[in-house]
Amino acid sequence: MTVYFDNAATTRVCPEAAEAALRVMREDFGNPSSSHALGRRARDILEEAREKTAAALGGKREEVFFTSGGTEADDLALFGGFELMRHRGRHIITSLTEHDAVLNAAKRLQSLGADVTFLKPDGRTGAAPVEAVREALRDDTVLVSLMLVNNETGARNPVEEVARLIKEAGSRALLHVDAVQAFCKTDFSVKTLMADLVSVSGHKIHAPKGSGALWVKSGVKIKPMLYGGGQEKGLRPGTEALPAIAAFGEAARIGKEKLPQTGAHLRDLHDYTLARLREEIPDIVLILDGEPAILPLSLPGYRSEVLLNFLDAEGVCVSQSSACKRGGRSHVLEAMGLPAKVIDGAVRVSFSRENTREEADAFVRALAAAKARLAHN
């Protein structure tokens, strides 16, 4: 049996999304910008996917702009948002625990003249403290970017409180929320977040890779990064990747529909796996008890890459940190100020609605066996 517990990296495409993609590739293959019948049908499919994605986000159809994934959506939010607001100031606030898509975009803007404040997380909760945002907020702050759920720890940032803070302070700064790890896993809407820009990704919710979206609040006219035709109202030009987008829309519809059951299932699986681990491996360290889709663990004194190789040989797929790190040390755990032994022994387990208790048992057995064998070497 293969146990796939790396769903924060990517998910298996659900049958409905796969069928939607195949249908577009084989039957409704027209260009959405073409005026003939196949083109009009393709345009209808594009708008249906936009409607489904908007409904899952709790926004309006015209506020959804399709991208190639979460990274492009994040980049579009930061570069486009900063370009829109730069006449008001050049100050950006983000945190040290953001995904590299945001961190590296912020660093690039910094090299181009932006003044960026990188907030240190609370070492206990892993979240950016609201008070830290308050202290960092300035008259020339034009953009605040915080992820909703951290992709390595499951920590949830208090973005709703940050949104209220921005409003109460009379700031005109845009609020961008990277909701890639939260979408269709935790209960939120763009209205409850009170954000201006929200990024989501298809391959984290059982759609194919290559699909994502940026929700842009009505009235916010961010600048494009690319220039070409008039697709996506000129904000993201280029012929739309319709098979991936159609699948994304279907996955978003199903994800929203199943969200109550998914949330309960993820919590049950998280708690069950943790309880079994504590029975079999008493010295296991729970790094943070955050959103249930992500279970960050550590075996201090062991090396993550060695543990992962052992688990891989046993048919268990987990990760060391973000998949984008390719095995590198976690900047998130370092920013939290965790001991080196905890960071070096870290393992990220991440669940989806498809996972089972049986798989959790197999994972626990494999990790216990890895610990026992490595302890004797």
Contacting residues for 6 by C-beta, under 8 A, at least 6 apart: 317, 318, 319, 323, 348, 350
| DSSP H or E segment with residue 45 | helix 37-57
Beta carbons of 271 and 262 less than 8 angstroms apart: no
Residue 14 annotated in active site: no
Say yes or no: do domains 3-11+259-375 and 15-257 share a fold.
no
**Domain ranges within the chain, ordered by starting residue:** 3-11+259-375, 15-257
| Separation between Cα atoms, residue 360 and residue 345, nearest integer Å | 20
pLDDT digit string (tens) for 153-172? 999 999 999 999 999 999 99
- DSSP letter for each residue of 151-194: TTT--B--HHHHHHHHHHTT---EEEEE-TTTTTTS---HHHHT
Beta carbons of 109 and 116 less than 8 angstroms apart: yes
| Separation between Cα atoms, residue 90 and residue 143, nearest integer Å | 9
| Separation between Cα atoms, residue 192 and residue 163, nearest integer Å | 10
What mean pLDDT is predicted for residues 118-141? Answer: 97
What CATH class is the domain 15-257?
alpha beta
Predicted local distance difference test score (pLDDT) of residue 377: 61
| DSSP assignment letter at 68 | S
| DSSP H or E segment with residue 296 | strand 294-298
For residue 144, the cross-strand partners are 93, 175
What mean pLDDT is predicted for residues 122-128? Answer: 96
Beta carbons of 132 and 120 less than 8 angstroms apart: yes
| DSSP H or E segment with residue 91 | strand 91-95
- DSSP letter for each residue of 202-263: STTTTS-TT-EEEEE-TT--PPPSS-SSSGGGGTS-S---HHHHHHHHHHHHHHHHTHHHHH
Q: What six digits make up the tokens of 119?
A: 């907030």
Look at residue 283 and tell me whether its pLDDT is greater than 70.
yes
Look at residue 306 and tell me whether its pLDDT is greater than 60.
yes
pLDDT digit string (tens) for 239-280? 999 999 999 999 999 999 999 999 999 999 999 999 999 999
pLDDT digit string (tens) for 328-371? 679 999 999 999 999 999 999 999 999 999 999 999 999 999 99
| DSSP assignment letter at 326 | T
Look at residue 126 and tell me whether its pLDDT is greater than 80.
yes
Antiparallel, parallel or unpaired: β 3-4 and 64-67: unpaired
Spatial strand order in the sheet of 346-350 = 285-286, 294-298, 346-350
**Residues 28, 32, 35, CA angle at the centre, nearest 5°?**
100
pTM score, two decimals?
Answer: 0.96
| DSSP assignment letter at 127 | S
Q: What six digits make up the tokens of 135?
A: 């202290």
Fold of 3-11+259-375: Aspartate Aminotransferase, domain 1 (3.90.1150)
Q: What six digits make up the tokens of 125?
A: 């909760």
pLDDT digit string (tens) for 9-46? 999 999 999 999 999 999 999 999 999 999 999 999 99
| Separation between Cα atoms, residue 207 and residue 188, nearest integer Å | 20
Q: What six digits make up the tokens of 23?
A: 């249908």
Q: Quote the mean pLDDT of the chain.
A: 96
Catalytic residue among 14, 184, 317, 324: 324
Q: What are phi and psi of 161, to 5 degrees?
A: -70, -35
Residue 2 has a CB neighbour count (10 Å cut-off) of 9
Predicted local distance difference test score (pLDDT) of residue 339: 95
Predicted local distance difference test score (pLDDT) of residue 326: 58
Predicted local distance difference test score (pLDDT) of residue 374: 85
Beta carbons of 70 and 178 less than 8 angstroms apart: yes
Predicted local distance difference test score (pLDDT) of residue 325: 52
Predicted local distance difference test score (pLDDT) of residue 322: 57
Look at residue 148 and tell me whether its pLDDT is greater than 80.
yes
What mean pLDDT is predicted for residues 82-105? Answer: 97
Look at residue 376 and tell me whether its pLDDT is greater than 80.
no
For residue 285, the cross-strand partners are 298
Q: What six digits make up the tokens of 34?
A: 């073409």
Predicted local distance difference test score (pLDDT) of residue 289: 96
Predicted local distance difference test score (pLDDT) of residue 117: 98
Contacting residues for 35 by C-beta, under 8 A, at least 6 apart: none
